[in-house]
Structure formats: structure tokens, C-alpha cells
Amino acid sequence: MLLWSEVGPTCQDDRLATATPTLPLREERGEIFFFAYGGCRVNAAKELYFNKDGLAIKKLQNGVNKLADLVGVTLGPKGRNVVLESKYGSPKIVNDGVTVAKEVELEDPVENIGAKLVRQAAAKTNDLAGDGTTTSVVLAQGMITEGVKVVAAGANPVQITRGIEKTAKALVSELQKMSKEVEDSELADVAAVSAGNNYEIGNMIAEAMNKVGRQGVVTLEEGKSAENNLYVVEGMQFDRGYISPYFVTDSEKMSVEYENCKLLLVDKKINNARDLITILEDAIRGGYPILIVTEDIEQEALATLVVNRLRGALKIAAIKAPGFGERKSQYLDDIATLTGGTVIREEVGLSLDKADRDVLGTAAKVVVTKDSTTIVGDGTTQDEVNKRVTQIKNQIEVAEQEYEKEKLNERIAKLSGGVAVIQVGAQTETELKEKKLRVEDALNATKAAVEEGIVVGGGCTLLRLASKVDAIIETLENDEQKVGAEIVRKSLSYPLKLIAKNAGVNGSVVTEKVLANDNFRYGYNAATGKYEDLMAAGIIDPTKVVRCCLEHAASVAKTFITSDAVVVDIKEPEKAAAAGNPMGGSGGGVVGAEVLEAPVTADAAAATETRRRAAAFTFHQLRRRRLLHRRFALAHLLLLLQHRLLLLLLFVVVVVVAVAGRRRGRHGRRWWWIEQQQCGLGRPDRGVARLREESVSGDTSFQGGAAGGRLRLTPPIVLVFFHATSLPLPGHQVARQVVAVGLFDGVGRLFIINRQVLGFRTTNHHHHRGGSCSVLLLPPQQKVQT
């Protein structure tokens, strides 16, 4: 690998003249060549901006204002959309503050840093509350604007930020006093306000939460039609389907459906069918269906289940446990809690071969498809489910990663009774993306309202909190901290003013009219242009959203106000086109290399010679690398041809075998010749050896069945191997003991299912000696020809 380190603008001419070419460095990973024209290797230079004459703060504030002004156009019921260019696909039209903020990258590096600072408030609010991102940015802009003014006047920024911090903390306490618990009838209002007064979305989200409960999970999907749809998956559902399609009970739906089903939960791989004998015998005697949920199952054990399912002896199905590792064990525990069962784990002293009916769980209904499984509990374990939900909630409180919290919430939803899925529909892809963002904001706002309650919306709650600042100022230590409290007071009116501005009304006039009325529920409804009781009108904000906006805006403002210098990378200027070639000629130089003009100094000749020697050295190394690459490419080509020849040979073999098979089966049917084989006691695999050899095309006699009869069999075939006693019974009846059950697939593979199954008698017109082993075939389809 060749790495080029070019001379930056900070590398001076004298360094070019005296430097020497950098030699190759050898590392454990291989040979890496660093090359710099003139041998100058320096780190990227930084540019420093100090706050002399307010230059640094002014540039930072410009970045804040640019971002806030762009995001602010989306605020309120009459906020506008923002069109975002997309390098791939159609442009995005969004009304979501955090989505707009993430797309902003300013050309000036200092201004860009200011924009990134405010973007943190939006991102953090979105992570915690899921809504209110625009309000966070606007509040932060207000605090920064007011704070910069007082700092420029000579106030101490450290004391000011302490005043901002204390005031914000006290206002959060006042906010919680103003909050009230949300009622079911108000959920639609909360969602609609967040979605821009779209009550179609609000009503759908409220309906979804009513169906699955306030702790239920509501997810979003992109619909296939232009209409929004809502459907609910009842019970616990996870993405694991049946292991074998032979378990299917409904061939039209290709699904397994059992009612009053028992569940066997195993936190390990099932290797032997013998371990399941006790459980399966109990299921046969009890006549109940059983679903096995296990890490995995060996083919022999699976064949036992399949054979018993096909013969109708058992109503059974098997699936793999959801999740992996620790999460798999947690899911199994959740299923056990829902169904009242016990997870079989060796580490807790439970063994599968000793398990009985007591470890089985019970489900009112089980539906298993190819890709998913749904388990509906019978309601008898509700107390245990509630305790389990409480435990998971405690885990959510201490969880740090959002992905982990999301998975824990999903587990709560599955235990609590179901998952609601909202399919968002639209006419175009652009509209679909914008609409999905609105629905997502509305859903997050509704969840936040359920968690911490609601307050009056429309920016009026923040405006009313300004009246609480006077009492807070009395508790502050000095005048500069009181100035910080005044900064917070002034910024609290910014959101309402912007909402009014987007609605085409003077913001200052609106705030004066609202404050003139002492009723804290009284405010300005920007959707209708009326002054009214906003709580009664359904203009509601989640308390959690307002709290996060206030806290994160104050945090960003404190960081900004105490900043006094900025360090940014220096952008490298675009290099001019090369005026010549160091290797001579017009096309014989190193690809991608650029030529720097020799500095007009006394050492120009030395610098030129240095560059020439360095370029010659690098050219030699490149030439060597190219030769190696050519040799490698030739070897790779030969290896590729070798692989293709092998594939071609394999293809020819497959074709020959297929043609031979067609000729062998030209009669259009397949017959199996069965006779008694001297296989030895307990060795049924020898007894089927002749069966494999004598699979022919044509009519073949059947020994040991109806006299002169011929039996046509269609694989797969169930085989029963039994051993005859040495003493014949009256009427030529011979007592036989089954030693094994097998499944023969017709292509030479035999699966031994179980030995020592049962004993029974059969009629045969031939006497048998001890030690013989006969084969009885029980095919799915048969036809007797006489």
C-alpha cells in the first residue's frame, strides 16, 4: 500500500530545501511507504480564533442563528416544511426539527461549530422525549442571544451560567407542579398537536394505545397503499417459525394452530429423542398438543417428532428459541412467565430426560407460521406477568444504551398483551418519508405524555413559567447569577413568539395578551387564531418534552457562554494543475503525483534535486509493486480457471446422473422389493441394506404381504424393524418385537428413529428363525395390485 503525505501550506521553503526523502518503514502488517515531496511530513495545522473584539463568539453565534432560523420555520401548527437534497433518491420534505438540524453543514468552520453545539440540544431531546427538538433549538438560541449581550457588557460568564443552571432546575420543579396525568380521551389531542394538528394521525395512535395498553408497543411500517392502516398482533409474537413443514396443520395457510397447547421450554440443544420419551408419552395419554421451544434439535430427534406427527400419534410442533445468547435465555424466561412453565436448564439442576408434565407451560392458543410464532396466554399467570414487567422496568432505568432500552420495552409489550402496528401510507415516496416522521413524532409525544403527564401547549407553559423566576431570583447568591435568571426569563418567550410569527401574527402582541390573563390554561391557539382555554381546545404538550427542552437548552447555553476561543482545522487550498513532470516527458510520471514549483531562493537547486531523488525512489518502488501485482493477477487468473473447470466437471457429472436416473425410471413408477434379511439382533441397519440395493424400476414381488400381491410405495417411507422369536405360535403367528423405527427417504438415506418402541404380533405364512430381522413398510401412499 502506498500512502502519499503531501506538503501542507505550513511547510516552508527552507524546510523543503534541507529535508531528505523519507525511507520506507517496515511494520508487522507489511511494507508501508510514506513519501513527501521534499521529505516534509507534518500534521494538519490548526487555526486559532480568540475572542478579541468578540470575533470568535460572533462567528459561533452566527452558526447558532443560521441553524435556529432554519429549524424554526417548522415550529407550530402553521410551520412550513424544509426541502432537503438527497444524493441518492428523491429529495426529502420534512417538518421535523432534528432531521433538519442533522443536515446542516456550514462552510465557515467556526460557524459550523456553533451550529453543532445547538444541534446537541435537539439530538438529546429527541433521544429522551422523541419530540420537541425545534423548541429546544429555539430556547437555546434565546438563552445564547441574551447571554452574549450581558457577557459583552462585561459580566462574569461563570456566575451567569450558574444562575442559568439554578433557574432551569427550579423551573423544572415548577413545571412538574403544573403537570396533570393524561386521560385516554386526551391521547389523541397530544398526538395530533405533535403531528401538526393532524387528528387522523392522532386518533389512530390513540386507538393503537387503547388496544395494546399504555405500556404496549406501537411500531411503524411503510404501508403498501395510500391509506393509513392499523392492526394489532395479540399475544407474544417473535420471529421464529416451525423447524419442519411436516408440522403444518393448515395446508392452505401453511401454519400450525393449536388451542390449549402445552409448551416445553428447553435452553439447550436436543440431541437425543430418548430424552423426550416421558414428555411424548404423557402427551399421547393426555391427548393435548405440545409445542417444543428449544435452542436447536438434532435430525434424529426431529425425525421422531415428524414420524409421530405424520402418523397422527402426536399433535406436536417444534421451533427455535428467539434471540441469541443471554437475550435468548431472557426470552425463554418471559415465555415461561406467560405460560406458567419452567425452562429446562442443566445449570439449575433440571434435566430433559427426567422432565415430566409439571414443567410444561399452557397457552390458550399457539399459531406458528414459516417465519413467526404467536403465543396467547390463558390469563392464569397475570400476577407473575406483572412482577416480570416490573423487573424489566427496573432494568430499563439502569440501561445506558438506547438499543438495550428498546429491546426491554419490546419484552414488556409482548408480556403485556400485544403489539400494534401502524402502516403509514402515501401517494409518493417523498410524502411517505415526511408523513412517517410526523407519525413518529406524534407517537413519541404520546408515550412521553403517558410517562410524565401533560401541560398546556402552544408555548404558553414556558411563557407562564417566566412568572416563577421572580421567586427564584430571591434564592440566588449574587447579582450576576440573578442576571443569569433574567436570561432564562427572556428566553422563555421565544417559542411562543416564533409560533405566532409562523402563523402571521406579531409575537410580542400575542405574548402581552396571554400574560394579561391570569388563567394559566389561557393562551393563543395558532391553528384557529383564537385566544381560548388551550387545555379544553386540545392544545396539549407532554410534560417530559417541555422539561427536556428546558434542561438541554440551558445546558447548551452554559457551554456557549463560557467559550472564549475556537480551534479548527485549516482547509488545504486546492492545488494548481501541474506545470510539468518530474520524470520528464508529458505522460511518463507517477499517476496522481503533483509537482510543486521550485522556490525562488538560493537553495532552489538543492530542493529540486531532493524532490528528483525522492520521486525516482518512489517510481522504482511503484514499478516493483506493479510487477508483483501482475504476477499475482496471473496466479489469480489460473486459480479462477481451475475452479471453473472443477465446476464444469461437477456439472457434467450431475447431468450424467440425472440422465441415468431418467432412463432407470422410464416405466414412470418406483417399486421396493422387501424380504426378510438376516440382520442380527439389534442391527436393523443391515436389514435395510438389501432394500437400498434392490430399488428397481418395474414390477417386483412383495414377500411377506398378501399372497402374490405387489405394493407400490412413495417415499418417504416409514419402516418398522422387528425381531422374531424362535418359537412359532398357533396359526403360524410369530411373536415379534419392534427393535427400531426408521424413515427411508428414497435416495439411500435411512434415519433410525428409536429402538425398543413396543411389542406386537403379526401374521406371516413363513417360519422364521431366531435372529432374523424383518422390515414392515408403512408408506404415506400405497396401491396394491393383484
- In tens, the pLDDT along 254-263 reads 889 999 999 9
Contact 11, 44 (CB under 8 A): no
How do residues 559-601 score in pLDDT, each as one tens digit?
Answer: 999 988 888 888 766 544 444 444 444 444 333 334 334 344 4
pLDDT reported for residue 461 = 92
Q: What pLDDT, on a 0 to 100 scale, did the predictor assign at position 554?
A: 93
Residue 53 has pLDDT above 80, yes or no: no
Beta-carbon contacts of 150 under 8 Å, excluding residues fewer than 6 positions away, are 160, 483, 487
Residue-level pLDDT at 555: 92
pLDDT mean over 278-298: 90
Beta carbons within 10 angstroms of residue 53's beta carbon: 8
Cα 483 from chain centroid?
47
pLDDT range class, residue 522, cuts 50, 70, 90:
very high
Select the more confidently predicted residue: 594 or 186: 186
End-to-end CA gap in the chain? 79
Q: What is the mean pLDDT of residues 362-376?
A: 88
Q: Mapping DSSP to helix (H, G, I), strand (E, B) and coil, where does residue 232 land?
A: strand
Distance of CA 558 to the CA centre of its chain: 35
Please indicate whether residue 611 or residue 128 has the higher confidence score (pLDDT).
128
Rounded mean pLDDT, 227-244: 83
Per-residue model confidence (pLDDT) at position 736: 42
User: Average per-residue pLDDT in the chain?
Assistant: 74
Please report which residue ranges of 503-571 form alpha helices under DSSP H: 507-516, 543-561
Question: What is the predicted pLDDT for the residue at 33?
Answer: 34
Residues 173-198, mean pLDDT to the nearest whole number: 87
- Mean pLDDT, residues 501-513: 92
pLDDT at 215: 67
For position 667, what pLDDT does the model report? 39
Q: What is the mean pLDDT of residues 742-769?
A: 40
Residue 400 has pLDDT above 70, yes or no: yes
Q: Omega before 684 cis (within 30°)?
A: no
As a residue count, the chain comes to 786
Q: What is the mean pLDDT of residues 82-111?
A: 85
In sequence order, the 6+-apart residues with CB closer than 8 A to the CB of 609 are: none
pLDDT at res. 209? 84
Is residue 490 a contact partner of residue 511, using CB atoms and an 8 Å limit?
A: no
Residue 733 confidence (pLDDT): 37
| Mean pLDDT value of segment 508-531 | 91
pLDDT at 491: 94
Q: What beta strand segments (E) does 414-529 contain? A: 418-424, 454-456, 522-525
pLDDT band for position 511 (50/70/90)? very high
pLDDT of residue 628: 64
Q: Is the torsion defined by CA of 153, 157, 161, 163 positive or negative?
A: negative
Distance CA 538, CA 674 (A): 82
Answer for the pair 190, 443: CB distance below 8 angstroms, yes or no.
no
**pLDDT score of 136:** 92
pLDDT at residue 285 is higher than 50: yes
Q: Quick one: pLDDT at residue 712? A: 41
Rounded Cα distance between 38 and 19, Å, is 6
Residue 210: count of CB within 10 angstroms of its CB:
14
Q: So what's the pLDDT on residue 160?
A: 93
- Quick one: average pLDDT of 105-123? 89
> What is the pLDDT averaged over residues 91-95?
83
Query: In this predicted structure, which of 88-97, 544-553, 775-784 has the lowest mean pLDDT?
Result: 775-784
Is the predicted pLDDT of residue 20 greater than 80, yes or no? no
Is 173 buried (19+), middle (13-18) or exposed (0-12) by CB count in 10 A?
exposed
Count Cβ atoms below 10 Å from residue 463 Cβ, excluding itself. 23
The pLDDT assigned to 564 comes to 85
Q: How far apart are CA 263 and CA 315, in angstroms?
A: 12
- Using DSSP, state whether 5 is helix, strand or coil: coil
Tell me which range, 11-15, 462-466, 588-592, 731-735, is most confidently predicted by mean pLDDT: 462-466
The whole-number pLDDT of residue 173 equals 92
Mean pLDDT of 423-451: 85
pLDDT band at 455 (very low <50, low <70, confident <90, very high): very high
Q: Mean pLDDT highest for which of 64-68, 184-188, 705-709, 733-737?
A: 64-68
| Residue 510's pLDDT band (cuts 50, 70, 90) | very high
Q: Looking at the predicted structure, is the pLDDT value of residue 625 above 70?
A: no
pLDDT score, position 40: 41
C-alpha cell at 527: 391553528
Question: In this structure, is the dihedral angle defined by the CA atoms of residues 25, 27, 31 and 33, taken in order, positive or negative?
Answer: negative
- What is the average pLDDT across 343-360? 85
Please state the rounded mean pLDDT for residues 636-655. Answer: 72
Give 759's DSSP letter.
E
Question: Which range scores top for mean pLDDT: 15-29, 433-447, 490-504, 662-676?
Answer: 490-504
Domains and CATH numbers, the chain: 2-42+577-627 (no CATH), 49-172+459-566 (1.10.560.10), 184-234+417-452 (3.30.260.10), 236-380 (3.50.7.10), 684-785 (no CATH)
pLDDT at 170: 94
pLDDT(309) > 80? yes
- Given a cut of 60, whether residue 233 has pLDDT beyond it is yes
Quote the Cα angle for 561-564-566, to 5°.
115
Residue 634 pLDDT > 80, yes or no? no
- Give pLDDT, residue 782: 37
For residues 72 and 65, give the distance between their C-alpha atoms in angstroms, rounded to a whole number.
Answer: 10
Exposed, middle or buried by CB within 10 Å (0-12, 13-18, 19+), for 365? middle
pLDDT at 623: 62
